[in-house]
A and B are shown apart, each in its own frame.
Chain A
């Protein structure tokens, strides 16, 4: 069965510390991978995506994620977090190609502590 697993429901981290949010998926077919972020009282926003090409993808606000096909993972990292990064982060996978019918993980709440 195709599924997306986010192992950590909550991750507290001190400001300026590094963070990694983990995401694993289960699939026997090619996938497209996404990270979405939901800031308080806002809708979901696409943070970054992997469709093809370089396995390391970056966002404009310093996050990066690496597609690891052998480990079926797409972990999200940031070397130094800021208070404004406090949000809920969702890993998502399209098993059908493209953006249609995206399957989401359960979400990870990142709490940045001053």
Chain B
């Protein structure tokens, strides 16, 4: 069974540009989560999808971040326009139900210069 995959593994963009991160969950997992770790800080929850619906988006930092999960399969997280403070590692996780273990992807390291 393939694990959670994320693309790209690393992205370097300039301030003001747009970046889209992608997460492919484990097949059959209805729950998909996004987390972010800013350097030297905690991993912080961003949002939670159940299928294509946003169950909890309380961790999204501001309206420059847009997450989608069309069709309830893969998810994208778009940052537009990117700011310096958006740099960090973005993790995606998935689980079969909201009460099951979350399986994490390797993360996407975003560097905004």
State whether the Cβ of A28 lies closer than 8 Å to any Cβ in chain B: no
Interface size class of A (residues with CB under 8 A): 20 to 34
When C-beta atoms are compared, the residue in chain B nearest to A5 turns out to be B42
Determine whether the beta carbon of A41 is less than 8 Å from that of B41. Answer: no
When C-beta atoms are compared, the residue in chain A nearest to B106 turns out to be A43
Instruction: Give A99-114 as 1s and 0s: 1 = Cβ < 8 Å from B's Cβ atoms.
Output: 1111111110000000
Determine whether the beta carbon of B95 is less than 8 Å from that of A45. Answer: no
State whether the Cβ of B105 lies closer than 8 Å to any Cβ in chain A: yes
Please classify the interface of chain B as helix (H, G, I), strand (E, B), loop, or mixed, using the class held by over half of its residues. Answer: loop
Determine whether the beta carbon of A43 is less than 8 Å from that of B104. Answer: yes
State whether the Cβ of A17 lies closer than 8 Å to any Cβ in chain B: no
State whether the Cβ of B88 lies closer than 8 Å to any Cβ in chain A: no
Which one, B41, B44, B48, B105, contacts A43 given CB within 8 A? Answer: B105
Q: Can you list 26 A-B contacts with CB-CB less than 8 angstroms, sorted by A residue number?
A: A41-B106, A43-B4, A43-B91, A43-B104, A43-B106, A43-B107, A44-B43, A44-B93, A46-B101, A90-B43, A98-B98, A98-B99, A99-B95, A99-B99, A99-B100, A99-B101, A100-B56, A100-B98, A101-B48, A101-B56, A103-B42, A104-B42, A104-B44, A105-B42, A106-B40, A107-B43
